[in-house]
Amino acid sequence: MMRWSRACWLATAAVSCFVSNLVAQADEPRVTVGGQTYTPRSIVERNMGSEADQTTPFTPHRVIGNIYYVGTRTLSSFLIVTPAGHMLLNTTYERNVEGIRSSAESLGFRFGDVKLVLGNHAHGDHMEGDARLQELTGAQVVVMADDRAALEGIRPGGKLHPVDRTVRDGERVELGGTVLTAHLTAGHTPGCTAWTTTVQEGGRDYDVVFFCSLRAPARLTPETTAQLERSFALVRRLPCDVPLGDHPAQYRMEEKYGRLIGGNALAFVEPAGCMTEVEIQEAMFRALPPAR
Ligand SMILES: [Zn+2]
């Protein structure tokens, strides 16, 4: 429900009423999950951090198996390394591509060996750099069909957004023996994609989920409501030992990275925590005013 502030009733300009109510809405609803309280605003701030957080590379590191982190402090980018070249999941903003390249090279990998570019969802903070990445590496861009239209609207510097292959729910993408499966988890965008794979570490297999954001839009529609209902049910069925996400805060990267450099090679293994972010986003979704 909209709450009209006294200042708004007194305001003479309709525009400022509208703006102040949008801002007020961001602080509601409030949901508490695991003893922590969240609002729509706090989740966005947690995900995005400051301008510097969005563009400053986080220390590149091997997450587990053949998965490496090459993103910034708040925007994830993963390099998945295979004998036939690499896959890059999320190019983030175009201005971050050079940092991603430096991170990959500092880990000892050739950027020119990136063969496939994948993404979680069609928002600029995750996939704006796809065209630049392709210019630098010649990699093929693989996208969920349902996000294609939104992606083609992301044109940094006027560049067309490349799409070399589209996939649908359940489709697999393979490179050098590593298979990633695309799961349509729509709601945040129409083609929001959770990617899953299996890695080996210390002699056993681990199921990895690169979750797509499940953050509901501020105003639900019947369509986004139906999409999210399906997506929450779907992600709860995914086998998961290692939860990862399009923003590092979704899987508490910094805390786990601290354990990794402390000597725990399995720092990112957290089966019991795989659904924590799902629970936060589902609680928020259910607390929002229903679609009309
Ligand atoms: Zn987004």
pTM of the full structure: 0.91
Q: What is the pLDDT of residue 18?
A: 38
Give the Å distance between the CA of 231 and the centre of ligand 1: 15
Range with lowest mean pLDDT among 69-78, 104-113, 232-241, 283-292:
283-292
Give the Å distance between the CA of 47 and the centre of ligand 1: 10
Does residue 50 fall inside a structural domain? yes
Give the Å distance between the CA of 248 and the centre of ligand 1: 13
- Would you say 165 and 177 are in contact if contact means Cβ atoms under 8 Å apart? no
Give the Å distance between the CA of 123 and the centre of ligand 1: 5
- Would you say 194 and 211 are in contact if contact means Cβ atoms under 8 Å apart? yes
Which domain covers residue 57, as residue numbers?
32-287
Give the Å distance between the CA of 108 and the centre of ligand 1: 30
Does residue 268 fall inside a structural domain? yes
49 sits in the region (left: phi over 0; alpha: psi -120 to 50; else beta) called left
Residue 58 CA: distances (Å) to CA of 48, 71, 87, 268, 271: 14, 6, 19, 16, 24
Q: What is the pLDDT of residue 32?
A: 97
Give the Å distance between the CA of 188 and the centre of ligand 1: 6
Give the Å distance between the CA of 203 and the centre of ligand 1: 36
Q: What is the pLDDT of residue 6?
A: 35
Does residue 24 fall inside a structural domain? no
Task: Measure the CA–CA gap between 277 and 179, rounded to whole angstroms.
Answer: 24
Task: Measure the CA–CA gap between 51 and 125, rounded to whole angstroms.
Answer: 11
Task: Measure the CA–CA gap between 149 and 246, rounded to whole angstroms.
Answer: 20
Does residue 120 fall inside a structural domain? yes
Give the Å distance between the CA of 141 and the centre of ligand 1: 19
Question: Is pLDDT above 80 for 20?
Answer: no
Give the Å distance between the CA of 204 and the centre of ligand 1: 33
Domain of 124: which CATH number? 3.60.15.10
Does residue 3 fall inside a structural domain? no
Which runs of consecutive H residues, i.e. helices, occur in 76-184? Answer: 97-106, 124-127, 130-137, 148-152
CB-facing half-sphere around the CA of 16: CA atoms within 13 A: 9
The number of folded domains in the chain is 1
Higher pLDDT, 14 or 87: 87
pLDDT tens per residue, range 96-151: 999 999 999 999 999 999 999 999 999 999 999 999 999 999 999 999 999 999 99
Does residue 267 fall inside a structural domain? yes
What band does 5 get if pLDDT is binned at 50, 70 and 90?
A: very low
**Strand, coil or helix: 142:** strand
Question: What integer best gives the mean pLDDT of the chain?
Answer: 92
Task: Measure the CA–CA gap between 196 and 274, rounded to whole angstroms.
Answer: 13
Does residue 70 fall inside a structural domain? yes
What is the 8-class DSSP label of residue 136?
Answer: H
Give the Å distance between the CA of 84 and the centre of ligand 1: 30
Give the Å distance between the CA of 264 and the centre of ligand 1: 31
Does residue 2 fall inside a structural domain? no
pLDDT, mean of residues 19-47: 83
Give the Å distance between the CA of 101 and the centre of ligand 1: 22
